[in-house]
Every structure is written in structure tokens, then in C-alpha cells.
Structure 1
Amino acid sequence: MEDIPVTDNHIHVDPIHGEGPVAVATKFKRAGGSVMISPNKPTWTVGESCTFKEAMELGIKYVDTINTETDIKAFAVVGAHPAELSRRVKEGLGLEKGEKIMRGALETAQKLVLDGRAVGIGEVGRPHYEVSTEELQVHNRLINYAMELAKDANCPVQLHTETSGPAEFKEFAKMADEAGLKRSQVIKHFSGPMVLDEENHGLTPSLIATRDVVTEGVEKLHLKLSNGKLNFIMETDYMDDLSRPGAVLGPKTVPRRTRELLEKGIITEDEAYRIHVENVERIYHVDLGF
């Protein structure tokens, strides 16, 4: 296990409300972690006057700190969480102005990718809570726009959405086709075990690393495949918020879950390498050096 790199595809760091990048990366490393993909947190977690660009720049700064001060390899993903729109609508900004601001934020995210400072656009998408039909339509247009920008930047998109099954994955796959973005470049963050082609329609599921979800995903693929080419990545969605310790899953979870799967013979070392290195390199167009 010590020789097998482990990637957490969606792990936040927050020195304002949490322990911060070095402490989180150190915990991850001690558990056997190797690579962190870290999206910026929403603007309001930084401060009421924080702009989208400032929040993204901070996310990149935290990743740079991890790379400089720890042995973890970290990469930034930048975007505008769908709750950013909902928050502005509730504050009375209006959907038209809100959509314009969100589009500008996505364009900022794309520029940071094009400048080589981030490896993907995200998390973007639509809320996991109910909103009006009119607001949902705006969120869907923003997903389409994020995918178009990602296609032009040759990078992936990390989607935050409601709990999604095959119908939702098919909807997102159609959006990707319309934008000209490869389906595999659409990462469904916080995914259940939607690992079969008929479930994910070619998108990349980022499995939340609970024992049940990951084990079910592996077992479904093993029943169907014999080549060991597991098509998912893993994440904790760790929030790094001291008021919610361990939410959603703690930073040690992905390394520990991977070790558990290996020790129980549920996955092989080759399969672990596929999940944590090959899939990550292919999706994010990075060389992890392992």
C-alpha cells in the first residue's frame, strides 16, 4: 500500500474556518495519501466582500502552499458553486443579473485553467435543494456554458448537482455532447456507485468514499468486466470546517478505504493504480510522476 499513490478528487482546505492546507495535507499524507484535487470554497466562506476571482486565487494559493510545504501533490479546480447564484437571488439581485455574474465567474475560471494555474472548472452545476423552475433553467444554462468553456480549454468540469441516477447522468451527457466536451471530461462529484455504462453514460463518477458506495461500485464492475479497468475516481468532499468536524468525510478516508479494499482482496494493486493515477492523469491531463 505504501507504494501505491492515492488521490482524493474533491477535498477542500480552509485556513479561515478550518485547519488549513498544511494540516489537512499532513493528515492525508500520514494516512497514505499522495494527490489532492482541491476546489475553491464559495465566496461567502472567505468574506461578504470576497469576489469570485479572489476566492479562486485563494484556492490556488492554498494548493501552492501544499505543494511547497508538504510532500503531497495538489492541483486546483476553480469555479462558482451553484449556491452562489441562489444566494444572490435571495439577496434580491435577480436572475438576469445573477446569471451574468456567474457567467463572468466561469470565464475567470477558464482563464485560470488556460494560464496553467488550475486543472479544471468546478465545482459548478445546480443545487441539491429545490429552486424555482426559472432559477433551475439558469443553472442548466450555466452548466452548458461551463462545458463549452471547458471544451475550449481542454479541461474537465466537476459537477455539483442533486443526487443523480442514470436519468440525470444521461441528461448531463447530452449537455456535454451539445457543448462538444468529451463525456469522460464531465466528473460527477459526490457520486453514488454509478459505474456501469448504462448508469453513467460515459461520464466519470467521483465516488464518495464510503465503504458501501465504493464496494458496490467495484463489485458491479467486476461482475461485468474481466479486464480490471475501473472507470471511477474517489473523493471525500472534506469541508475543512471546524464547526463541522469530519464533514463530509475526513481527509484520511480515501487512503484508508483504498487500503481496506486491497487488504480484503476487493481490488488489486493494478486496479488501485488505475483509479488513483491513470484515471486522474487521463481526465485532468496531468503527469503525476508515479
Structure 2
Amino acid sequence: MENITITDNHIHVDPINGEGPLEVAKKFGRAGGNVMIIPNKPTWTVGKSCNFDEAMELVIKYVSMINENTNVRAFAVVGAHPAELSRRVKNGMELDLAEKMMKATFEAAQKLVIEDKAIGIGEIGRPHYEVSPEEMEVHNRLILYAMELAADADCAVQLHTESAEEKQFLEFAEMADKAGLERHKVIKHFSGPLVSKDENHGLTPSLIATKSVIVEGIKKGNNFLMETDYLDMLSRPGAVLGPKTVPRRTKDLLQKGILTEEDVYKIHVENVEKVYGIDLE
């Protein structure tokens, strides 16, 4: 059990509002974690003058810091959270201009993937809160556009959306088909235990690593990832789940026989390598 690889598929680092990349990585590593997939945080968390390019370049910088100074391997996922559009529209930006802005950001994210600075586009998607029908149409067009860019770059997409059930997974799967993106390269971040194929329609669910979700998920199979969605905010310590959670949860369930060593390898290595096209060995 000492030599197992453990991956947190969605974990943030924030030296401005939180502890920062090195402290988070060290906590993760001390708990037994090995691989962190880190999406950039929204521009407003960095500062009023921060733009999208700067936010994406910052997470690439943080990943380099972790790789150079700790025993944890880190990879960047870059993009623009759907709330970026909502905030700008709320502050008076025209919807069509906001859509163009988001498209340009996705194109910049794709370029970073092609340059091997990042391994996926994300987190992108649509709001988990109420917006106008017109705005929701834009978010859906943007999801499709991001998937098209990901298909061209042969990379993964991390989706942030409302709480998704089988109906939403099918909707996103059909979007992926239309975009020419392999369904398994669409990752539903912050997923519940929709592990069986008739529930997720071939998408890759990234299960939030509460005990109940993982225990329910593993009953249906091991074709999923695990994540904390750790925010690294001193004002919200431990939210959403703390950085030690995925390694501790994995080892606890392995000790109790709920996960097998084969399950752990599949979840934390094979699935990660397949979705992102990276080598963890």
C-alpha cells in the first residue's frame, strides 16, 4: 500500500487567498498523495486587474513550483469558469461581447495545451445558479466550442455545471459527439456516483471524495476519478474538501476492503492516463 499512486483530479492552489501551491502540495504529499490536477482559479480571486491569460499562466507557474520543489507531480488545466461570463454580464457587458471574450480565452487555453503547458481545457461549463435563458444559450454554445477545441487538440475538458444526473450526462455526451470529442475525454467535475455507463453515457465522472459517494460509486464500477475541489481559501478552511482527503479516503477504503488495489490503480493511474493522455509511471 506504500507504493500506490493517488491522484486528486480537481484541486486548487492560491497563494493570494490561501496557503499556496507548496503548502497544499506538501499536505497532500504527506497524506500519501502523488498527483494533483490543478485548474486555474477565476480572475477575480487573483486581483481586479488580472486577465484570463495571466490567470492561466499563474497556474502553470504554480504547477512548475510544485514539480520543482516537492515530490508531488502536478499538471495544469486551463480555461475560464462560467461565472466569469455571468459576472461581466451582471456588470453591464453585452452578452455577445462576453461570449467572444470567453471564446478567445478557450482558444488561448487550447494553445497552452498544444504547447504542453497544460493537459486539458477547464473548468468550463455552465452555471449552477439561475441565469436568463439567453445567457444559458450562450453557456451551452461555449461548452460545444470548448469541446471542438479539445477535439482539435486531442485533450480533455473539465466541466463545471449544475448538479448532473443521467439526463445531463446524456446532453453533454451528445455535445461531445457533435464536437467530435471522444466521450471519455469529457470529465464531469464534482460528480455524484454516476459510474455505470447507462448513467454517464461514456463521460468520465470525477467523484467528489466523500465516503458515501465513493462507496456508492465503487459498487457500480471503477471507471471514475476522485477529487476534493479544494479551494485553498483561508476564509473557508477545508472547503470543499481538504487536500488530504483523497489519499486518506483511498487508503481507508482500501484497508477496509471496499476498494481493491486493482480499483485504486484503475482510478488513480489508468483512468487519469487515459483521459488526459499523460504517463504517470
Could you say what secondary structure the match of 2:188 adopts? strand
What do you get for the CA RMSD once the two structures are aligned? 0.5
Provide Cα deviations, 1:35-84, integer angstroms capped at 9, x if missing partner.
00000000000011111000000010000000001000000000000000
TM-score relative to the length of structure 1: 0.96
**CA distance in 2 between partners of 1:254 and 1:2 (Å):** 15
TM-score relative to the length of structure 2: 0.99
**CA distance in 1 between partners of 2:127 and 2:240 (Å):** 17
> Match for residue 37 of structure 1?
37
Task: Specify the code of the residue in structure 2 equivalent to 1:209.
Answer: A
> Match for residue 115 of structure 2?
115
Could you say what secondary structure the match of 1:62 adopts? helix
The offset of 1:2, in angstroms, is: 1.5
> Match for residue 284 of structure 1?
276
Provide Cα deviations, 1:111-135, integer angstroms capped at 9, x if missing partner.
0000010000000000000100000
> Match for residue 161 of structure 1?
161
> Match for residue 93 of structure 2?
93
Task: Specify the code of the residue in structure 1 equivalent to 2:189.
Answer: H
> Match for residue 71 of structure 1?
71
Task: Specify the code of the residue in structure 2 equivalent to 1:47.
Answer: G
Q: Percent identity?
A: 69
**CA distance in 1 between partners of 2:270 and 2:153 (Å):** 21
> Match for residue 84 of structure 1?
84
**CA distance in 1 between partners of 2:263 and 2:197 (Å):** 18
Task: Specify the code of the residue in structure 2 equivalent to 1:130.
Answer: E
For structure 2, the residue ranges without an aligned partner over 5 or more in a row are none
**CA distance in 2 between partners of 1:201 and 1:287 (Å):** 25
> Match for residue 55 of structure 2?
55
**CA distance in 2 between partners of 1:167 and 1:128 (Å):** 15
Q: What are the within-5 Å matches in structure 2 for residues 1-290 of structure 1?
A: 1-221=1-221, 230-289=222-281
The offset of 1:220, in angstroms, is: 2.6
Task: Specify the code of the residue in structure 1 equivalent to 2:149.
Answer: L
**CA distance in 2 between partners of 1:90 and 1:130 (Å):** 12
Task: Specify the code of the residue in structure 2 equivalent to 1:238.
Answer: Y
**CA distance in 2 between partners of 1:91 and 1:100 (Å):** 16
> Match for residue 225 of structure 1?
none
- Structure 1 runs (4+) deviating above 2 angstroms are none
Task: Specify the code of the residue in structure 2 equivalent to 1:207.
Answer: L
Task: Specify the code of the residue in structure 1 equivalent to 2:264.
Answer: A
**CA distance in 2 between partners of 1:154 and 1:198 (Å):** 25
> Match for residue 224 of structure 1?
none
**CA distance in 2 between partners of 1:58 and 1:210 (Å):** 29
**CA distance in 2 between partners of 1:108 and 1:87 (Å):** 20
Task: Specify the code of the residue in structure 2 equivalent to 1:103.
Answer: K
Task: Specify the code of the residue in structure 1 equivalent to 2:69.
Answer: E
The offset of 1:271, in angstroms, is: 1.1
The offset of 1:94, in angstroms, is: 1.3
**CA distance in 2 between partners of 1:158 and 1:2 (Å):** 30
Provide Cα deviations, 1:202-258, integer angstroms capped at 9, x if missing partner.
00000000000000000133xxxxxxxx11000000000000000000000000010
**CA distance in 2 between partners of 1:210 and 1:271 (Å):** 17
**CA distance in 2 between partners of 1:218 and 1:283 (Å):** 19
Provide Cα deviations, 1:86-109, integer angstroms capped at 9, x if missing partner.
000011001010000000000000
